[in-house]
Amino acid sequence: MSNIALTRIDDRLIHGQVITAWCKITSAKRIVIVDDLVVKDPFIVQVLQMAAPSTVKVEVHDIESGAEVLKSYDGDENLIVLVKYPKTVLGLVNNGVDLKELNVGGMGAGLGRKSFYKNISVSDEEKEIFRELISKNVKCFIQIVPDAKKIDVGTLL
């Protein structure tokens, strides 16, 4: 598990920014998407796999199997973990995944969500989840692109 180069919340999962910026800076050759709904949709899984370059392996898991994959990973390739929601990260942590950092990327506006930082919106429940993750020693920060300054989520709660 020491080769997790980036764990990121991004409601778009794989898109140009992730592929061009984050894969490059982390030298990731594997992307592990963890989402209980996406894993059940073979079409979306195929689209996500096709969105990545052929040099990057993409796999999709639910929280339980994703946690097992991440806990047992002992390969030498850097990997990126992508999720849509903070609750997924909490599920991974509660299932024994030792995450040190969480990059908060895209979290769009929607019903019950309020502006949190620039284009990032969160619900009250998600704020509580961030507090819980921080209490479990997961350093949560906002950083849209690699060369942007890191913003500590704890200072915004």
**Catalytic residue ranges:** 15
Rg (CA), the chain: 15
Strands in 13-135 per DSSP E: 30-34, 57-61, 79-83, 101-104, 114-117, 120-122
Cβ(24)–Cβ(62) below 8 Å: no
Cα 103 to Cα 8: distance, rounded to the nearest angstrom: 5
Cβ(48)–Cβ(18) below 8 Å: no
